[in-house]
Structure 1
Amino acid sequence: MLYSPLKLRNLELKNRWVMSPMCMYSCENGVATDFHFVHYGSRAQGGTGLLIVEATGVVPEGRITHKCMGLWNDEQAQSLKRIVDFVHQNSESKIGIQLGHAGRKASTWNGKQLSLEEGWETVAPSKIPYHEDERIPHELTIPEIKKLVQDFKDATQRSLNAGFDLIEIHAAHGYLINQFMSPLSNVRTDEYGGSFENRIRFLIEIVDGVNELLDENHPLFVRISGTEYTEDGWGIEESVQLAKILKDKNVDLMDVSSGGNIHGATITLFDGYQVPLAAQVKKESGMKTGAVGLIKSAEQAEEILEKGDADLIIVAREILRNPYLAIQGSFEGKGECDFPHQYDRARI
Structure 2
Amino acid sequence: MLYTPIQFRNVELKNRWVMSPMCMYSCENGMANDFHFVHYGSRAQGGTGLIVIEATGVEPRGRITNHCMGIWNDEQAEKLQRIVEFVHTHSDSKIGIQLAHAGRKGSTWNNHQISIEEGWETIAPSPIPYHPSERIPHVLTTDEVKGLVLNFKEAARRAVKAGFDIIELHGAHGYLIHQFLSPLSNIRTDEYGGSFENRIRFLLEIVESVNEELNAETALFVRISGTEYAENGWDIESSVALAKVLKDYSVDLVDVSSGGNIHGAKISVFDGYQVPFSSQIRNEAAVKTGAVGLITEVEQAEEILQNGNADLIFVAREILRNPYIAVQGSFEMKEECFFPHQYTRAKISS
**TM-score past 0.5 threshold:** yes
Query: CA offsets, 1:13-55, max 9 Å, x none?
Result: 0000000000000001000010000000000000000000000
Quote the residue 2:16 is aligned against.
16
User: How much has 1:217 moved relative to structure 2?
Assistant: 1.2
Alpha-carbon distance in structure 2 between the residues aligned to 1:5 and 1:154: 31
Q: Give the aligned residue type for 1:345.
A: R
1-side partners of 2:334 and 2:285: how far apart? 33
SS of the residue 1:179 aligns to: helix
Equivalent positions of 1:68-147 (< 5 A) are 68-147=68-147
Residue number in structure 1 paired with 2:280: 280
Is residue 160 of structure 1 aligned with residue 169 of structure 2? no
Deviation of residue 82 (structure 1)?
0.4
Corresponding residue for residue 202 of structure 1:
202
Output the amino acid matched with 1:107. S
Which runs of 5 or more structure 1 residues have no equivalent in the other structure? none
**Superposition map of 1:1-348 within 5 A:** 1-348=1-348
Structure 1 residue 213: Cα displacement: 1.0
SS in 2 for 1:231: coil
Which structure 1 residue ranges, 4+ long, deviate > 6 Å from structure 2?
none
CA–CA distance in structure 2, aligned partners of residues 222 and 272 of structure 1:
20
Deviations 1:272-308 (A, max 9, x none): 0000000000000001000000000110000000000
Residue aligned with 1:4, SS: coil
Q: Distance in 2 between matches of 1:9 and 1:109?
A: 38
Question: Aligned letter for 1:116?
Answer: I
Q: Deviations over 1:157-184 (max 9, x none)?
A: 0001111001000000000000000000
Task: Look up the SS of the partner of 1:53 in the other structure.
Answer: strand
Distance across 1 between alignment mates of 2:34 and 2:113: 28
Q: Structure 1: which amino acid aligns with 2:102?
A: A
Q: Secondary structure of the equivalent of 1:296?
A: coil
Of all paired residues, the percent bearing the same amino acid is 73
Which amino acid in the other structure matches residue 91 of structure 2? Answer: S
Q: Any idea what the Cα deviations from partners look like across 1:72-98, whole Å, max 9, x if unmatched?
A: 011100100000000000000000000
Q: Given the two structures, how large is their TM-score scaled by the length of structure 1?
A: 1.00
Q: Secondary structure at the match of 2:188?
A: coil
Task: Measure the CA separation in 1 of the matches of 2:143 and 2:90.
Answer: 44
Deviation at 1:311, TM superposition (A): 0.1
Q: In the aligned structure 2, how far is the partner of 1:333 from the partner of 1:299?
A: 9
The aligned amino acid for 2:108 is T
Gaps of 5+ in 2: none
Q: What's the C-alpha RMSD, in Å, of the aligned pairs?
A: 0.4
| Letter of the structure 1 residue corresponding to residue 304 of structure 2 | I
| Aligned amino acid, residue 331 of structure 1 | F
Distance of 1:164 and 1:117 partners within structure 2:
35
Shift of 1:335: 1.1
> What SS does structure 1 have at the residue aligned with 2:80?
helix
TM-score, L = length of structure 2:
0.99
**SS at structure 2 position matched to 1:84:** helix
1:295 aligned partner, one-letter code: I
Write the distance in 2 (CA, Å) between the matches of 1:346 and 1:73.
42
In structure 2, how many angstroms separate the alpha carbons of the residues matched to 1:109 and 1:338?
38
AA aligned to 1:151 is N
